[in-house]
């Protein structure tokens, strides 16, 4: 589909708006809408919470339509807060949240809701501006608005409300706004459906990957091999020629003092064990005193004692140091494949066995230390078979990862296409009036 520009344009007088279609009017947001805020009832009064009124906060602003929220309040809670009940048809906008680093979340209410203090509710004079058009306008100008509305010096990313209220909106007639909104609703729905297909493909590839790993590390690669009951609930049958041994006979724990130049190594829940600096530098707890730190060498099998239940087990890609919460293991038997046992232990975690056998120091945080590992029964294929299994699994993972990367690239292109279409339509770069009756996505 090709789009033509409008016949004539004029200068908006606003640097970041540039030229707009000649027949569009320029209106300040504060002149065409009433903007109100929200609040939070006291958390110390149970009677204020778990009622019938959705209480919307930034974490709920993941869709373009809002009729529910993760939390709710009662009529009493509403009366005791600075929020009011916002009816359907209001535009909700996040004004304070870390998410404002990337996007200005907007949504339209489809049911009466209350909001917290990090949002604003905008009630439009619908004879001048439709809520649906404003929602698309914010989406279309997202990157520009993040800069134009930014609250300078704020400790949390925030929108400067004065700048927002005084923003100039180029507006076509309400009839044309409806046409543009309907066009974008239809075309973005098509694009969103394509994105959902790619996201589902990624999920299926991840399921396939887990199935490949699970089968290979527990059943081996020979489908004709005779099987036997392992006697282990989470493991099931294994090839008849495999042994079953406790962890203490397979691995010993090593505790080597770190060296001065060692960086901190972290075991992540996706199974990667590497220097923190290789993944990210923010969001970690930093120890004031590095008491009990130990050395990790490239190739060591590493278990994160408090996150192992979620899969934080793997072979270290780096040499560095880690906290005493980690168990650093070395094989007792020659030829043992650390990568094989990393897969086995992660499978044990995914099947919830680590969570079951270990005591928890806090909810969903069982501590899987070496003392617990020593008693765990594990499959022991011949050493050469362990390595063969890992070669097979690695090849399959590489192939599946390539397919997932293609799907991720497709999603990125579709999202760019979606944003570009919205931006072009609401800024008047393209005239979509001839496409109001139905079309294919551009």
Q: How far is CA 154 from CA 89, 98, 149, in A?
A: 30, 11, 12
DSSP H helical segments within 94-173, as ranges? Answer: 131-140, 142-148, 161-165
Q: Where are the domains of the chain?
A: 25-171, 221-380
Asked if 267 and 315 touch (Cβ cutoff 8 Å), the reply is no
Residue 154 confidence (pLDDT): 83
Category of 134 on φ-ψ map: left (φ > 0), alpha (ψ -120 to 50) or beta: alpha
Residue 283 confidence (pLDDT): 55
CATH superfamily ID and name for 25-171? DNA methylase specificity domains (3.90.220.20)
Alpha-carbon span 25 to 174, nearest angstrom: 11
Residue 363 confidence (pLDDT): 59
Asked if 254 and 313 touch (Cβ cutoff 8 Å), the reply is no
* C-alpha neighbours within 13 Å on the C-beta side of residue 42: 7
Asked if 301 and 265 touch (Cβ cutoff 8 Å), the reply is no
DSSP H helical segments within 121-223, as ranges? Answer: 131-140, 142-148, 161-165, 174-219
Please, which residues bridge with residue 86 across strands?
Answer: 113
Category of 185 on φ-ψ map: left (φ > 0), alpha (ψ -120 to 50) or beta: alpha
Q: In the numeric block, which tokens belong to residue 105?
A: 């979340």
Same CATH topology for 25-171 and 221-380: the answer is yes
Strands 106-109 and 65-66: parallel
Cβ atoms within 10 Å of 154's Cβ, excluding its own: 12
Residue 288 confidence (pLDDT): 45
* Per-residue pLDDT of the chain in tens (442 residues, 90 and over written 9): 689 999 999 999 998 899 999 999 999 999 999 999 999 999 999 999 999 999 999 999 999 999 999 999 999 999 999 989 999 999 999 999 999 999 999 999 999 999 999 999 999 999 999 999 999 999 999 999 999 999 988 888 999 999 999 999 999 999 999 999 999 999 999 999 999 999 999 999 999 999 999 999 999 999 999 999 999 999 999 999 999 999 999 999 999 999 999 999 999 999 999 999 998 655 555 554 556 899 999 999 999 999 999 999 999 999 999 999 999 999 999 999 999 999 999 999 999 999 888 866 555 668 899 999 999 999 999 999 999 999 999 999 999 999 999 999 999 999 999 999 999 999 999 999 988 764 443 3
DSSP secondary structure letter of residue 134 = H
Residue 292 confidence (pLDDT): 83
Alpha-carbon span 391 to 389, nearest angstrom: 5
Asked if 52 and 113 touch (Cβ cutoff 8 Å), the reply is no
Asked if 356 and 338 touch (Cβ cutoff 8 Å), the reply is no
Q: What pTM was computed for the model?
A: 0.84
Alpha-carbon span 105 to 96, nearest angstrom: 10
With a CB cutoff of 8 Å and minimum separation 6, the contacts of 18 are 11, 12
Kindly report the CATH number that applies to the domain delimited by 221-380: 3.90.220.20
Asked if 95 and 73 touch (Cβ cutoff 8 Å), the reply is no
With a CB cutoff of 8 Å and minimum separation 6, the contacts of 198 are 407, 408, 410, 411, 414
Residue 279 confidence (pLDDT): 87
């Amino acid at each position: 589909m090709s789009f033509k520009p409008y016949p004539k344009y004029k200068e908006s007088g606003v640097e970041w708006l540039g030229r707009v279609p000649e027949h569009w009017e320029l209106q300040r947001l504060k002149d065409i809408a009433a903007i109100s805020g929200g609040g939070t009832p006291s958390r110390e009064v149970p009677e204020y919470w778990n009622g019938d009124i959705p209480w919307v906060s930034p974490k709920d602003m993941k869709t373009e339509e809002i009729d529910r929220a993760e939390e709710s309040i009662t009529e009493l809670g509403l009366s005791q807060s600075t929020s009011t009940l916002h009816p359907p048809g209001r535009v909700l906008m996040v004004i304070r949240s870390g998410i404002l680093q990337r996007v200005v979340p907007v949504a339209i209410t489809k049911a009466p809701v209350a909001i917290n203090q990090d949002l604003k509710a905008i009630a439009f004079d619908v004879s001048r501006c439709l809520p649906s058009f404003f929602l698309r306008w914010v989406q279309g100008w997202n990157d520009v608005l993040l800069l134009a509305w930014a609250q300078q010096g704020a400790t949390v990313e925030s929108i400067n409300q004065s700048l927002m209220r005084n923003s100039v909106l180029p507006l076509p007639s309400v009839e044309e706004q409806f046409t543009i909104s309907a066009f974008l609703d239809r075309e973005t729905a098509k694009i969103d459906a394509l994105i959902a297909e790619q996201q589902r493909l990624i999920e299926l590839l991840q399921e396939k990957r887990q199935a490949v790993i699970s089968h290979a590390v527990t059943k081996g690669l020979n489908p004709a091999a005779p099987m036997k009951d392992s006697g282990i609930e989470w493991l099931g049958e294994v090839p008849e020629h495999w042994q079953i041994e406790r962890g203490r006979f397979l691995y010993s724990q090593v505790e080597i003092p770190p060296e001065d130049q060692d960086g901190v190594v972290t075991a992540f829940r996706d199974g990667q064990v590497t220097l923190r600096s290789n993944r990210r530098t923010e969001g970690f707890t930093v120890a004031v005193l590095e008491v009990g730190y130990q050395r990790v060498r490239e190739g060591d099998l590493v278990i994160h004692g408090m996150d192992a239940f979620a899969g934080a087990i793997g072979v270290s890609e780096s040499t560095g140091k880690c906290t005493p919460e980690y168990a650093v293991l070395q094989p007792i038997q020659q030829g043992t494949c650390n990568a094989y046992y990393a897969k086995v232990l992660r499978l044990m975690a995914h099947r919830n066995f680590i969570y079951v056998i270990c005591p928890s120091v806090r909810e969903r945080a069982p501590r899987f230390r070496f003392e617990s590992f020593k008693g765990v029964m594990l499959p022991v294929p011949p050493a050469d078979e362990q390595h063969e299994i890992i070669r097979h699994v690695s090849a399959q993972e590489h192939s599946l990862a390539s397919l997932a990367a293609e799907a991720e690239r497709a999603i990125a292109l579709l999202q760019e296409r979606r944003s570009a279409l919205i931006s072009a339509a609401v800024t008047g770069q393209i005239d979509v009036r001839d496409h109001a009756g139905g079309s294919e996505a551009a």
